[in-house]
Amino acid sequence: MPDRIRVLELRSVWGTGGGPEKTILIGTERATRSRFAVTVCYIRDARDRVFGIDKRASALDIDYVEVRERHSFDRSIWGALKALVRERQIDIVHSHDYKTDLLAYLLSRRTNVIPLATSHGWAGSSVRERFVYYPVEKRLLARFPRVIAVSSRIKAELVERGADAARVTVLLNSIDPDAFRRRPDRVAAIRAEIGIQPDEFVIGAVGRLEKEKRYDLLIDALAALAPKHPQLRLALVGDGTLAGALGDQARRLGVSEACRFLGHRLDIASLYHAFDLFVQSSETEGTPNAVLEAMAMETPIVATDVGGTRELAAPDVHAIIVPPLDAEALAAGVDRAIADPAGRASRAAAARRRVETDLSFDTRTRRLEAIYEELMSGVLHA
């Protein structure tokens, strides 16, 4: 076995990405460098005018490279990836989406690298994703020597599609509890910055404004609660294709003045200081990073029971968990949280304790590195 294991983190994404980017970039920065040499490679489409991963990577002390493609099926990237594997003397290619899963598998067939994939879930809603890419990906992952699932539900889906349960390991997403830490002295200034009055109660939500997040149900819940709680406000952090439609919905329901559409922001940790309550309204998730952030920031949580949410935040211990696709249940969960300040504080404190231990980036990184060691030792490589 080599003195240092060389890993290529391989990912293809448009725009500013999502939760997996935090896991990849910060996890790489936290690697045990005396034992692991990690290169992060993003496949970047030349048509993507808002790509932002390079800027995030430049702020970290990591080895970051890009392979440019002219379009989604640009075969020229194959030669560039093989050259990168040779130059960096890569041992393990760690993929993170259906496109790079295929590339990692093909690289393993053409070179001596070992393929490893992390399955973050299947949130896309296009016909091609649902009926072509995702089914093919699940069958392909059954051929990998090891797959990481970010929730037990994702593992169950992979096993159902043919993966060996012994080769699928659940490794929950994690967070840096030092980077996400509440500072009470910052609350007033940040609330003022986004136009929140001291006596207003703010629901915060963080994520892409896309269908799977079901912010339409959250706005419905806000409208239902507004007569009882006239000081209730909603702050949506993120951008996406549904921004216009959600704004129209808020106006139609008469709650536009209670909504703050904050767009894409890089100061996420700061914005949590403005929230009295974090709400996840999603219909699907992997292991939601926004829930982790809220837990670390000691922000009380109401969240839908999707993906690995309850594996992060146990019901009535760390969060109020409600059924998905149900605006009434969402409203009831928010109403319960508003009415019980002591319960909010207790759950928030318990959540913070959990992210400082089991769900810290350092803990996850050491578990991931153990998987790399096992793969290199041949225990799980067939």
Model confidence pLDDT, tens digit, residues 196-249: 999 999 999 999 999 999 999 999 999 999 999 999 999 999 999 999 999 999
Beta strands in 147-198 (DSSP E): 147-149, 168-170
Strands, E assignment, 250-369: 259-263, 277-280, 301-304, 320-322
The predicted-structure confidence for 101-138, as pLDDT tens digits, reads as follows 999 999 999 999 999 999 998 877 788 888 788 999 99
> Two tokens at 141?
């992952």
Side chain identity at residue 178, one-letter code: D
Please report the domains of the chain, with CATH numbers, ordered by start residue.
5-174+360-377 (3.40.50.2000), 184-355 (3.40.50.2000)
Of the chain, the end-to-end C-alpha distance in Å amounts to 16
Which region, left, alpha or beta, applies to residue 122 given φ > 0 means left and ψ of -120 to 50 means alpha? beta
Across residues 30-58, what is the average pLDDT?
96
pTM of the entire predicted model: 0.84
CB neighbourhood size of 341 (10 A): 11
| pLDDT (tens digit per residue) in 74-88 | 999 999 999 999 999
Closest by Cα among 212, 188, 183 to 200: 188
Sign of CA dihedral 333, 338, 342, 348: positive
Per-residue model confidence as pLDDT tens digits over 248-272: 999 999 999 999 999 988 899 999 9
Segments in 18-133 forming alpha helices (H): 19-29, 53-58, 76-88, 98-110, 127-128
pLDDT exceeds cutoff 60 at 27: yes
